[in-house]
Amino acid sequence: MKSNESYFDGVVQKMTKNRNVYGAILCVENGDGSISWSGAAGNLNREDRFFIASVTKLCITTMILMLRNEGELKLDDKITQYFPEGYLDGLHVLKGTDYTDQITITHLLSNTSGIPDYFSGKQDDGKKAADDLFGGKDEPWPLGRTLENVKKMTPNFRPGEKGKARYSDTNFQLLGRIIEKVAGKDLADVFKERIFDELDLSNTYAYRDVNDESPAQMYYKNKKLHLPNYIASVTAEGGVVSTASELMVFLKAFFNGRFFPKENLEELKKWNLIWFPGQFYFGIGLEKLWSPRFIAPFKPIREIIGCWGQSGAFGFHHPDTDLYFTGTVNQLSGFGHSAAFSAMISIIKSANSGKLYE
């Protein structure tokens, strides 16, 4: 059977009809290879490089599981053991009690640490880092600066408090530093040697050269946004560049046992509902889309698992149909995510009704 090219082309074209989406890239494959399609619309081409933003967090999850399986760390390790004495003091002080020494790697990976998000949290002056960045103020945010600001913020809850989760990029900056400590080298090099080279990905890399203008132009609403200094400083939380086809190679490797046993995936499915940014579930280094029953009342969508990126990038797997989705809408405002979500839902529903083949 041949996949329905005109159907897929219509889906990606529709993605650009969404508010402030100037271009879209979509790659769709299934497990047995009978479906393998990629295309683009608007001002993007299907093999363009783009910033995958928080889809990078799947690389962090991969490395943590690999290092755990190699005996280099444990998920219940206290994070203070990976930093110089006193470096993290005062990171998590709630109602007069410092809970910093109770935070584990799992708490970071599952966003259950309670540590505030430096990106969306209010600083001393009442501003958010996100506001400055979206306003075009391109500044680096290395871990030291992040922690200095976060220590002045009020934590969201006690580490591991039952039923509590709050999305925080700070968690993943800390995980990046832990990986560097264990591996003994820069995170960008770890990603390259342990993941990208292993998969022979020539267009996937941690963004470090601020003069590199090869990734596609991002937008915030109707404004072009160029943040090379910022992106080069936040490798762990979202500093990777890729293409839809190469991101697909990584996504399939993640879910099919290339880097860690497939059984490990079940460990990650301890879901907590996250309300911001957007509404979705977060497990241990893995997201699950919130897909209410009414969007498919006769055939529930169930699990769509993977990760979103602030840039509108996405990498998701739907186990029931064995479909994989990668791509981007290159829109930082959040308005474009619904276009990508609608595209995935449309394709899953069409798969259930047999419309993906000519």
Sheet holding 287-289, edge to edge: 36-42, 23-30, 323-328, 314-318, 305-308, 287-289, 280-282, 272-274
Q: Tell me the whole-structure pTM to 2 decimals.
A: 0.96
In this prediction, residue 138 carries a pLDDT of 97
What gap in Å lies between CA 59 and CA 179, rounded to an integer?
Answer: 11
Ordered by where they begin, the domains of the chain are: 5-56+219-352 (3.40.710.10), 59-187 (3.40.710.10)
- Per-residue pLDDT of the chain in tens (358 residues, 90 and over written 9): 667 899 999 999 999 998 889 999 999 999 998 999 999 999 999 999 999 999 999 999 999 999 999 999 999 999 999 999 999 999 999 999 999 999 999 999 999 999 999 999 888 788 899 999 999 999 999 999 999 999 999 999 999 999 999 999 999 999 999 999 999 999 999 999 999 999 999 999 999 999 999 999 999 999 999 999 999 999 999 999 999 999 999 999 999 999 999 999 999 999 999 988 888 999 999 999 988 766 767 778 889 999 999 999 999 999 999 999 999 999 999 889 999 999 999 999 999 887 787 6
Distance CA 284, CA 325 (A): 20
Q: Are 141 and 234 in contact (CB under 8 A)?
A: yes
Q: Is the sign of the CA dihedral 17, 21, 25, 26 positive or negative?
A: negative
Q: What are the structure tokens assigned to 286, written together?
A: 């893995």
Residues 217 and 42: their CA atoms lie apart, in Å, by 12
Closest of 253, 315, 240, 325 to residue 49, by C-alpha: 240
CA dihedral 88, 93, 98, 102 (to 10 degrees): -70
Calculate the CA 71 to chain-centre distance: 25
Query: Which residue, among 165, 184, 120, has the nearest Cα to 146 in the 3D structure?
Result: 120
pLDDT value, residue 297:
73
pLDDT of residue 133: 94
Hey, which residues does 224 pair with through a beta bridge?
219
- List all residues 6 or more positions away from 188 whose beta carbon is below 8 Å from its beta carbon: 205, 206, 208, 235, 239
